[in-house]
Structure 1
């Protein structure tokens, strides 16, 4: 009987420990560039009626922007000239990629949504 109770107690501790590990990985995943880009594209797709090819292209552009932001902008002094220049550069790259993918009407709607 004692071994049975000990076994149940160990099983409970293992299950509780696994829940904690899963919760930590979910909070870390929400900051990944792919997750952020997917959410951005989903928001845009609903408003602009994007095709599958447009969604894939925009997803890649947004992932690239997020990776660059994480490398050179996020967590740094936003008033620093170098950080401001990097942010402008990456925003311009995103804008160019979006303009290349979207139709002129979609691009106008996208620009209006960005401001």
Structure 2
């Protein structure tokens, strides 16, 4: 009986420790800026045959862009002047960063893709 009780207690400790470890793990939500940026850069890399430096720079640019959008634009009144100004500022910053990293031909294709 004592042996059975100790096995049961050990099983309960293992059960609770597994749940605790699962709760502490970092999940990759599809709406996190890093995940969205990684997906976008993978798509651009496939279309434009980007090299490693371009991929890293665009990943940083898109991550900053989506993070700023989340903080300053999403969930706010889209007609508010401050929100419109923030959105324009972040879009221009992204466009400037993309222009720095892509070749002239790649940048023209990127602009055409943005207009679609």
TM-score normalized by structure 2? Answer: 0.80
Q: CA deviation at 1:51?
A: 1.0
Cα distance per residue 1:66-105 (max 9 Å; x no partner): 2322331122112212111210111011111111211121
Specify the alignment match of 1:49 in structure 2. 49
Q: Describe how 1:25-44 pairs up with structure 2 within 5 A.
A: 25-26=26-27, 30-44=30-44
Q: CA deviation at 1:21?
A: 3.9
Which residue among 4, 7, 10 is the counterpart of 2:7? 4
Q: Distance in 2 between matches of 1:61 and 1:16?
A: 37
Q: Distance in 1 between matches of 2:56 and 2:6?
A: 56
Could you tell which deviates more after superposition, 62-71 or 101-110? 62-71
Specify the alignment match of 2:68 in structure 1. 68
**Secondary structure of 1:50's match?**
coil
Specify the alignment match of 1:93 in structure 2. 93
Aligned residues: 112
Name the structure with the higher helix share: 1
Specify the alignment match of 2:17 in structure 1. 14
Q: CA deviation at 1:31?
A: 4.1
Q: CA deviation at 1:16?
A: 3.1
Structure 2 unaligned residues grouped into runs of 5+: none
Structure 1 unaligned residues grouped into runs of 5+: none
Q: CA deviation at 1:34?
A: 2.8
